[in-house]
Amino acid sequence: MSGVQNAMSLLISSFHKYSGKEGDKYTLSKTELKELLQNELGDLLGKATDKAAVDKIFQDLDSNKDNTVDFKEFVTLVACLTVMCNDFFIKKK
Ligand SMILES: [Ca+2]
């Protein structure tokens, strides 16, 4: 598999690893989102994984306001973080 396809596949499997823990198997509850942020993005987000920050991220991501974060809503976070990382990479070069 190519690098990009591999990254896509990892994103999908990582999402489902957390979304399958409680409630709807295909969406993230706030608890599941918090666990995902802490375990998978803790290095990047640091303090953004405390309770108030998780509440804010959850509300921002839940664009259709159904009180869960689906895959489409989750990838917007990953896309934003990826763009930020790329900007950082370019400035460092
Ligand atoms: Ca939602």
Indicate yes or no: pTM above 0.85. yes
For ligand 1, a single-atom ion, which residues have Cβ within 5 Å?
62, 64, 66
Quote the ligand 1 centre to 6 CA distance (angstroms): 26
pLDDT surpassing 80 at residue 93: no
Read off the pLDDT of each residue in 76-85 and give the average, rounded to a whole number: 95
CATH classification code of 3-92: 1.10.238.10
Q: How far apart are CA 72 and CA 29, in angstroms?
A: 14
pLDDT at 19: 98
CB 12 within 8 A of CB 5: no
State pLDDT tens for residues 10-41. Answer: 999 999 999 999 999 999 999 999 999 999 99
Q: Calculate how far, in angstroms, residue 65's C-alpha sits from the geometric centre of ligand 1.
A: 5
Say if residue 8's pLDDT is above 80.
Answer: yes
* CA–centroid distance, residue 93 to ligand 1 (Å): 37
At 92, the pLDDT band (50, 70, 90 cuts) reads confident
